[in-house]
Amino acid sequence: MDDLRWLSTRELAARIAAKEISAREALTVQLRRIDEVNPAINAVVTRDDDRAMAEATAADEALAAGEEVGVLHGVPMTHKDTHDTAGMRTTWGSPIMADRVPEADSLIIARLRRAGVITSGKTNVPEFAAGSHTFNPVFGTTRNPYDLTKSASGSSGGVGAALAAGIQASGDGSDMGGSLRSPGSFNNVVGFRPSNGRIPHTRPGNPFAWLAQSGFMARTVSDVALLMSVASGPEPGAPASLPDPGSVFDLPEFRLGAEADPQLTGVRIGFSPDLGGLLPLDPEVREIVSGTAAVLSGLGARVADTIPDLSDADEVFTVRRALDFVGFWGSLLETERDRMKDSVVWNIEQGLRLTGAEVASAETARARLSAEVEGFFADHDVLVLTTCQVLPFDTGLEYPTEIDGVAMESYLDWMRALCLISATGCPAISVPAGFSDSGLPVGVQFVAQPGDDVRLLSIAHAFEQATRVSARHPEIPAAGPQDLS
């Protein structure tokens, strides 16, 4: 059964539906793989094997009885530890919420479970999902399967490491400043941030939120599309919902058995690894991402050195993120400050210090940025740039303090290639692009206009099919974190 570790989600679901394997067998393989590799990578932080096996048994019985089942029926999956799972703790990596057990699933989890997913555990995140390196005082540090001394990034770092290590083929996550795309790049998998409203924001919480988005990571673009097909679509009580049903993601080229014939004929691409010099890049990252232009041209795309003016994006992102941190966690600051990491306190206090004039200025900047993005995509189908400006860095660092000789002033600066895109509201996806000389993964970021998620996935899929970089898997030594320097 061990070959199940590297099947795609589509393949695994199809084999379960055809009764070639059972849901219990699929779960057994997943749990065995967690036992094998998780002591080294620390990706899965909460498990409930008994509950998962009971759900898998019920799934097999339903299939045997001929009941109508969902497209992910019997597929085992761990979930990001920021998404509420009914009856299973959701901690956000914080000592303040270490024992919190939600009574209801968040929307993305509820939709996955309606499609048949078996919930087997939770994956690690940074404290309050702040920052793109996965470590916290509750569960410790998640390590990169390609090099156990390196970061798996974050905040969906546990998900990314689990995928790369063969624990599962796809999983849910979220992305405010790059938290799906960055771990996608660091772990040689795909990370997709959808347009606002694809997976709607609902109550409790702010249904009008727009900066942070729930989304998916997977080892293939096709699996991202499959999960989007079951998790996206309008929802009552979610006023920002996009009206399209999830079925819009069910394109023929994503289905099992589709012939691989990648073509991007006529696709108009604006290409700049560093956004015209705006971003400092590690030299190896620059070289690998620059090389993707030839691949895109070879597929028939029209690649030009043109980019939108994103000069307003820093202000938009910084102000909106600070306000959201006040909304999410501001009430804890007075009573729990000593149990919150410094970067979280800093971000909340940034929001509390904002004046009305500063908020109004950021809203005006957002309007200018929206007009700039609209104008750019009138003449281009996608923007292509680097995903992460650095290679996976040492786990002992909180964040990189310099890139190619340029100092980083805060824990967000090294993520600027991601944060700037988040501010635009555009859907964006990171796809594996290559490896450094030392064997560390590098991703390339594709960006489309708001609402053009399906087209974006189609373009990313063609690039993925042409390169096949994601087919390279890590070799994880049988060692726990205590054995690592």
Residue 54: both structure tokens together: 């009971």
Q: How far apart are CA 221 and CA 427, in angstroms?
A: 14
In residues, how long is the chain?
485
Contact 170, 163 (CB under 8 A): yes
Q: Is the pLDDT of residue 461 over 50?
A: yes
Helices (H) and strands (E) in the chain, counts: 14, 17
What beta strand segments (E) does 137-182 contain?
140-141, 143-144, 147-151, 170-175
Q: How far apart are CA 166 and CA 163, in angstroms?
A: 5
Q: Tell me how far CA of residue 246 lies from CA of 165, 239, 250, 368, 452, in angstroms.
A: 29, 17, 8, 31, 13
- Per-residue pLDDT, 102: 98
Average pLDDT of the residues in 331-348 = 95
What residues are paired with 309 via a beta bridge? none
Average pLDDT of the residues in 257-274 = 95
44-47: strand order across its sheet:
44-47, 118-123, 76-80
- Per-residue pLDDT, 118: 98
**pLDDT tens across 158-212, in order?**
999 999 999 999 999 999 999 999 999 999 999 999 999 999 999 888 999 999 9
Q: How far apart are CA 26 and CA 75, in angstroms?
A: 7
For the chain, what percent of residues have pLDDT higher than 90? 95
Q: Is the pLDDT of residue 474 over 60?
A: yes
pTM (2 decimals)?
A: 0.97
Confidence of residue 1 (pLDDT cuts 50, 70, 90): low
- What does pLDDT average to over the chain? 96
Phi and psi at 122, nearest 5°, equal: -130, 150
> Which residues does the annotation mark as catalytic?
80, 155, 179
**Burial degree of 475 (CB within 10 A; 0-12, 13-18, 19+):** exposed
- 3-state secondary structure string across 238-292: CCCCCCCCHHHHCCHHHCCCCCCCCCCCCCEEEECCCCCCCCCCCHHHHHHHHCH
Query: Which is more confidently placed, 482 or 15?
Result: 15
Give the Cα-Cα-Cα angle 400, 275, 397 (nearest 5 degrees): 5
**pLDDT tens across 411-446, in order?**
899 999 999 999 999 999 999 999 999 999 999 999
Q: Tell me how far CA of residue 155 lies from CA of 7, 188, 348, in angstroms.
A: 25, 16, 18
Query: Among 275, 308, 251, which Cα is nearest to 426's?
Result: 308
Please state whether the peptide bond connecting residue 76 to the residue before it is cis, i.e. omega within 30 degrees of 0: no
Average pLDDT of the residues in 360-373 = 98
Q: Is the pLDDT of residue 479 over 90?
A: no
Q: How far apart are CA 78 and CA 124, in angstroms?
A: 10
Q: Is the pLDDT of residue 365 over 80?
A: yes
- Where in the chain are the domains? 9-471
Query: Among 25, 83, 6, 77, which Cα is nearest to 48's?
Result: 77
Q: Is the pLDDT of residue 336 over 60?
A: yes
Confidence of residue 2 (pLDDT cuts 50, 70, 90): low
- Per-residue pLDDT, 482: 44
Q: Is the pLDDT of residue 481 over 60?
A: no
- Per-residue pLDDT, 3: 83
Run of H or E residues at 294: helix 292-298
CATH 3.40.630.30, applies to 9-471: no
Contact 461, 223 (CB under 8 A): no
Q: Is the pLDDT of residue 239 over 60?
A: yes
Q: Is the pLDDT of residue 399 over 50?
A: yes
